[in-house]
């Protein structure tokens, strides 16, 4: 496979947009900012995404250093994805996008259609079940 870094735009803003562009990448990053996740957890959190597309998005984010894929050598094998420090640095970008989206919805009188997209601090204790979490940016 060709080096994905060589294909990135040279304009920094365009580079950032290219890295996080698409329907699913920001949502994947969002969930990995909360906690490390297994593929099956991400699928449950994003039921609309196909497994093929999810795996593709995860591979691209890994190739660009946004997330880490860790394989646990056990039976059965377990794979977990987590945000790297570089990926964690996107939290401010994602929150700025959320703020702008909220402002846009307010201008169009559609604020009632939105959900909150606040990310918890990086080291929060325990995990929240997808069914009980009050924040689902894709619903």
Residue 35 φ then ψ, to 5°: -170, 155
pTM over 0.85: no
**pLDDT per residue as tens digits for the range 44-64:** 999 999 999 999 999 999 999
Greater model confidence, 137 or 82: 82
For residue 59, the tally of other CB atoms under 10 A from its CB is: 14
Cα gap 129→43, rounded to integer Å: 13
Predicted local distance difference test score (pLDDT) of residue 116:
79
Nearest to 30 by CA among 12, 42, 48: 42
pLDDT at 80 exceeding the cut of 60: yes
Predicted local distance difference test score (pLDDT) of residue 74:
87
What's the whole-number mean pLDDT along residues 1-22?
83
Ordered by where they begin, the domains of the chain are 8-87 (1.10.10.10)
Coil, strand, or helix at residue 71? strand
Radius of gyration of the chain (CA): 16
């Amino acid at each position: 496979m060709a080096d994905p870094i060589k294909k990135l735009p040279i304009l920094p803003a365009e580079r950032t947009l290219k890295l996080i562009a698409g329907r699913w990448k920001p949502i994947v990053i969002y969930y990995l900012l909360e906690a490390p996740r297994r593929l099956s957890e991400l699928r449950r959190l994003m039921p609309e995404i196909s497994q093929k597309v999810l795996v593709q998005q995860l591979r691209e984010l890994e190739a660009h250093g946004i997330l880490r894929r860790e394989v646990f050598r056990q039976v059965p094998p377990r794979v977990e994805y987590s945000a790297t420090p570089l990926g964690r640095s996107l939290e401010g970008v994602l929150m700025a996008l959320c703020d702008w989206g909220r402002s846009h919805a307010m201008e169009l009188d559609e604020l009632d259609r939105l959900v909150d997209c606040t990310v918890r601090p990086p080291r929060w204790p325990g995990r929240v079940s997808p069914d009980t979490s009050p924040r689902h940016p894709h619903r």
